[in-house]
Amino acid sequence: MEIKSGIAVSPGIAIAKSMIIDSEDYRIPRRSINPSQRKVEIQRAREAFENAISELTKLQARQDATLTGIEQRQIRDIFAVHLRFLHDRSLRKKITDLIHTESVTAVYAVSKTLREIASHFTRVKDPYISERAADIYDIERRLLAQLLGSRREDIEHLTEEVVVVARELSPTQTAGFNKDFVKGIAADAGGRTSHAAIVARSLGIPAVVAMEDLTESISGSDTVIIDGNHGIVIVNPDSKTIAQYEGYSREFVELERKLDAIKKKPAVTRDGVKVTLLGNIEFPEEAEIVLQKGGEGIGLYRTEFLYLNRPSEPTEQDHYTAYAETIGAFKHRPVTIRTMDLGADKYTQSKRFVPEPNPFLGLRSIRFCLKNLAVFKTQLHAILRASVLGEVKIMFPLITNLQELMQAKMILRDVMEDLDEASIAYNKHVEVGIMIETPSAALTACSLARDVDFFSIGTNDLTQYTLAVDRGNELVSTLYSSADPAVLRLIRTVIQDAHKAQIDLSVCGEMASEPQYIILLLGMGVRTVSVAAPMIPEIKQIIRSVTMEECNKVARKILGMNSERQISNYLRDTARKVMPEAF
Ligand code: PEP
Ligand code: MG
């Protein structure tokens, strides 16, 4: 039995056999196999080579037919080099020897051998040879695609419950998991607000990230316990531990059942202050879950997920259908549609020939939309068409300055004019707001407030950009905290500026979904929060257990503190007193 800890990102307990998923883009972890499996792995490696050769040969024939002259020669040369490597007997022998002598998987042996050769090439002074390293990585990717392809199929056609273990999961991969079979998730990489973590939370799958080297010490079909409440993963637990965690799991389910009882009750503090409790969604089907959990509307619809679970770009009708379905669940309640927040860890990098060096600071979100007007207009067209179906609000993400906001609004007006010309109905008074998720937006909130109907504070990115800490990087995850005094000061500024300008304000970042923060946010003046659907009952229970006077006192005390550690401890202690079961 081995107990490892990471960061708890999605609550609940899971106990099941592990299924390890590899990713082509990352170093493949060393994984030992039973010596009896070596033959199978050697055969898998051989087949991967044969399939890669036939794939490349077909590709070569197709290219030969379409290209001419110099281009053709260059591409033919590249194919020839790759094929030569794939036919190289000594390379294959190295790989099969490695599987045989060290009892490792074919995936690991291929990756390790090719990466060693590539790194050897990189060190050679002759630029012709050092550039060949890129070819080797390419060959590695091709072979891994062959070897991992079947694994991907497996995850799509599960027939028994598993716990998924991976080096890193993308939001797209996570969104594709079938909740009926994927009972838990553990990843080596990631942080509390990485998008894969957010998706796991939305799906209600217990998850722990930042496990560092879990994938290296686990084999497929090991029994694994995921404790998504405390950030613990136990590999091959003994029977006593399994029984103990089965007990915790029953308690957790019982708590959820108890909380479900308040789903119809309002989110009102003990002294009668009403709080609006909305839900965050990534897919239209989740709107129904928000409703079931007692949410009063959608405060954040992450529409970029429309791009992440399909092979081609969504059409205007695809957008419209998704919005109409969401609005259908909340006819007379607000549905805040955030325009696509593509880029950074979502979608665009894999489409680029050369990925951006700093994607979180790059062509992301509203910046991407303002550079890809046709795509942006398609979405706005669909949102406006859907605006007559309910109480739709439009929200622009990652605004950093007034000019960007003005440009986005101008495009929206253009689309409105197009609809007017085509006599298509839309709500001419649709509310338009922005996410405040960059320090620059927070610091200029008073001027931005004049041109919008509402703000929603995106604490996930606001924390990342204020503290210069990558929200998805486990190496710096201990530095990532929304309880940092710098983050809290910015949040306070935004709340004050929104109140002064008399515009609506909500918090939709994960901070609002975490029980320890809700009392502070209320005390700072927040009256609307949007949280992950499974967290709605818990957050409501805390709201219903406190008075505004108590919240104000907590906020006053916290805003006088200047250490993140002190603030975190105080918040945790306070929330624990209010709702001990949540901790
Ligand atoms: C945020 O940044 O807080 C937010 C809600 O947006 P996302 O998590 O989708 O970046
Ligand atoms: Mg964000």
pLDDT tens for each residue of 367-389 = 999 999 999 999 999 999 999 99
332 as an active site residue: the answer is: no
CA separation for the pair 368, 373 (Å, rounded)? 9
Most ligand 1 atoms within 8 A of CB, residue of 336, 339, 460, 531 to mutate? 460
- Given a cut of 80, whether residue 221 has pLDDT beyond it is no
**What atom in ligand 1 is closest to the CA of residue 341?**
9
Do 383 and 432 contact (CB within 8 A), yes or no? no
Query: Average pLDDT over the chain, rounded to whole?
Result: 90
- For the residues 76-100, what does the mean pLDDT come to? 90
Tokens of 433: 């707001």
Question: Same structural domain for residues 341 and 389?
Answer: yes
470 lines ligand 1 (CB under 6 A): no
Question: Same structural domain for residues 288 and 416?
Answer: yes
CA separation for the pair 522, 528 (Å, rounded)? 9
C-alpha pair distances (Å), 476 with each of 3, 167, 242, 511 = 22, 16, 32, 18
- Given a cut of 90, whether residue 246 has pLDDT beyond it is yes
206 lines ligand 1 (CB under 6 A): no
Range 358-361, long-range pairs (CB < 8 A, 24+ positions): 360/464, 360/470
Q: What is the CA radius of gyration of the chain?
A: 26
- For the residues 545-563, what does the mean pLDDT come to? 96
**Interior angle at CA 409, CA 406 and CA 413, nearest 5:** 135
459 lines ligand 1 (CB under 6 A): yes
Which residue has a Cα nearest atom 6 of ligand 1? Answer: 458
**Helix 485-501 × helix 564-578 angle, to 10°:** 70
Do 288 and 335 contact (CB within 8 A), yes or no? no
**What atom in ligand 1 is closest to the CA of residue 511?**
3
The CATH number of the domain where 57 resides is what? 1.10.274.10
Q: How many CA atoms lie within 13 A of 454 on its CB side?
A: 25
Say what the pLDDT of residue 295 is: 96
CA separation for the pair 386, 35 (Å, rounded)? 59
C-alpha pair distances (Å), 21 with each of 140, 287, 408, 450 = 17, 29, 40, 48
461 lines ligand 1 (CB under 6 A): yes
Domain end, chosen from 132, 148, 164, is at 148
Kindly state the helix (H) or strand (E) to which residue 441 belongs, with its residue range: helix 439-443
Domain end, chosen from 92, 117, 148, is at 148
- Does a structural domain hold residue 365? yes
Question: Same structural domain for residues 515 and 397?
Answer: yes
Ranges 24-38, 180-194, 259-273, 468-482: which has the least confidence: 24-38
Domain with 138 in it? 35-148
Task: Quick: pLDDT tens for 247-304.
Answer: 999 999 999 899 988 988 999 999 999 999 999 999 999 999 999 999 999 999 999 9
- Given a cut of 70, whether residue 567 has pLDDT beyond it is yes
- Given a cut of 70, whether residue 312 has pLDDT beyond it is yes
Question: Same structural domain for residues 337 and 397?
Answer: yes
- Does a structural domain hold residue 278? yes
First to last CA, the chain: 25
- Does a structural domain hold residue 503? no
**What atom in ligand 1 is closest to the CA of residue 397?**
6
Tokens of 574: 């306070």
Say what the pLDDT of residue 391 is: 97
- Does a structural domain hold residue 478? no
**What atom in ligand 1 is closest to the CA of residue 195?**
8
Task: Quick: pLDDT tens for 435-465.
Answer: 999 999 999 999 999 999 999 999 999 999 9
- Given a cut of 60, whether residue 352 has pLDDT beyond it is no
Most confident of 181-190, 213-222, 406-415, 532-541: 406-415
Tokens of 90: 């000594």
Number of domains present in the structure of the chain: 3
82 as an active site residue: the answer is: no
Q: How many CB atoms within 10 Å of residue 14? A: 26
CA separation for the pair 81, 486 (Å, rounded)? 54
Question: Same structural domain for residues 387 and 514?
Answer: yes
Domain end, chosen from 103, 124, 148, is at 148
- Given a cut of 70, whether residue 484 has pLDDT beyond it is yes
Do 130 and 124 contact (CB within 8 A), yes or no? yes
The CATH number of the domain where 208 resides is what? 3.50.30.10
Marked catalytic residue, from 82, 195, 319, 381: 195
For ligand 2, the distance from its centroid to the CA atom of residue 462, given in whole angstroms, is 8
509 lines ligand 1 (CB under 6 A): yes
Question: Same structural domain for residues 43 and 115?
Answer: yes
For ligand 1, the distance from its centroid to the CA atom of residue 576, given in whole angstroms, is 26
Most ligand 1 atoms within 8 A of CB, residue of 281, 461, 480 to mutate? 461
Instruction: Indicate the pTM of the whole model.
Output: 0.79
Ranges 145-159, 266-280, 309-323, 360-374: which has the least confidence: 145-159
For ligand 2, the distance from its centroid to the CA atom of residue 1, given in whole angstroms, is 39
508 lines ligand 1 (CB under 6 A): yes
Say what the pLDDT of residue 87 is: 93
Say what the pLDDT of residue 454 is: 98
472 lines ligand 1 (CB under 6 A): no
**Interior angle at CA 448, CA 442 and CA 450, nearest 5:** 140
341 lines ligand 1 (CB under 6 A): yes
The CATH number of the domain where 521 resides is what? 3.20.20.60
Say what the pLDDT of residue 447 is: 98
Question: Same structural domain for residues 228 and 301?
Answer: no
Question: Same structural domain for residues 242 and 161?
Answer: yes
Question: Same structural domain for residues 198 and 341?
Answer: no
C-alpha pair distances (Å), 2 with each of 5, 216, 233, 234 = 10, 13, 8, 6
- For the residues 465-483, what does the mean pLDDT come to? 94
Q: How many CB atoms within 10 Å of residue 2? A: 13
**Interior angle at CA 256, CA 250 and CA 258, nearest 5:** 100
Which residue has a Cα nearest atom 10 of ligand 1? Answer: 461
**What atom in ligand 1 is closest to the CA of residue 464?**
2
22 lines ligand 1 (CB under 6 A): no
Which residue has a Cα nearest atom 4 of ligand 1? Answer: 458
